[in-house]
Amino acid sequence: MNTADQYVKAIYLIQRMEDGPASTGALADMLDVSPASANEMIGKLEDRGLAEHEKYKGVQLTDEGIVRARDALQTYCIIERFLANVLDVEEFRAEARELESVIDDTVADRLDTIIDRNTECPDCFDAETDACRYLELENENPAD
C-alpha cells in the first residue's frame, strides 16, 4: 500500500461517515497532514482517475477509486487484526497505520491466512472507532 492508497482509504471512510463528499479539512485531520498536502494529493488522485474534487464541496472517489480504497482498507484490517489478535500488540492501531504504507499485497495475503479474515471485510470496519468489528480485544465484547 502506498500514500495514494492511504488517501483513497481515508476519503472512502470519510464519505461513509459523512454520507457525502470528504472535505479537505476532514481528510487532512484524518491523515494528520496539512490541508495544503491533502489538496496536493487530491489533485494527483484526480489525475489518476481515482477521485473527483469540486471546490468548496469536497472530494469523492470514482468507481476505480472506491475499488482501490476497499482493497486498501482490507489490507489495513488484515494488519490491524494480525497485530491485535495474533501478536497482542497493545498499540496496534498506531502500528497498523505505520505499517500499512510498507506492507505489500503478498505480505498482506500471507497475514490474511493467519487471521482467518471474515468475508464481510472490509465492510466490517467502523471508521468512527477506527477498528474492525471482529477484533478480539480484552475488556471489549468481540463481534458475534
pLDDT class for 143, splitting at 50, 70, 90? very low
Q: Report the half-sphere exposure of 24 (CA within 13 A, side-chain side).
A: 16
Identify whether the C-beta of residue 59 lies closer than 8 Å to the C-beta of residue 27: yes
- Whether 15 shows a pLDDT value over 70: the answer reads yes
- Whether 129 shows a pLDDT value over 50: the answer reads yes
Instruction: Determine the Cα–Cα distance for residues 13 and 25; give it in Å rounded to an integer.
Output: 14
CA dihedral 131, 45, 71, 84 (to 10 degrees): -30
Q: Which CATH number fits domain 67-132: 1.20.120, 1.10.730, 1.10.60, 1.10.3470?
A: 1.10.60
The pLDDT of residue 128 is 79
Question: Domain residues of the chain, as ranges?
Answer: 3-65, 67-132
- Whether 139 shows a pLDDT value over 70: the answer reads no
CATH 1.25.40.10 given to domain 3-65: no
Indicate the helix (H) or strand (E) that contains 131: strand 131-132
C-alpha cell belonging to residue 43: 489533485
Q: DSSP characters for 44-81?
A: HHHHTTSEEEETTTEEEE-HHHHHHHHHHHHHHHHHHH
Q: What is the pTM of this model?
A: 0.83
Backbone phi and psi for residue 5, each to the nearest 5 degrees, phi listed first: -65, -40
Give the mean pLDDT of the chain. 87
The pLDDT of residue 126 is 81
CA dihedral 122, 49, 47, 16 (to 10 degrees): -40
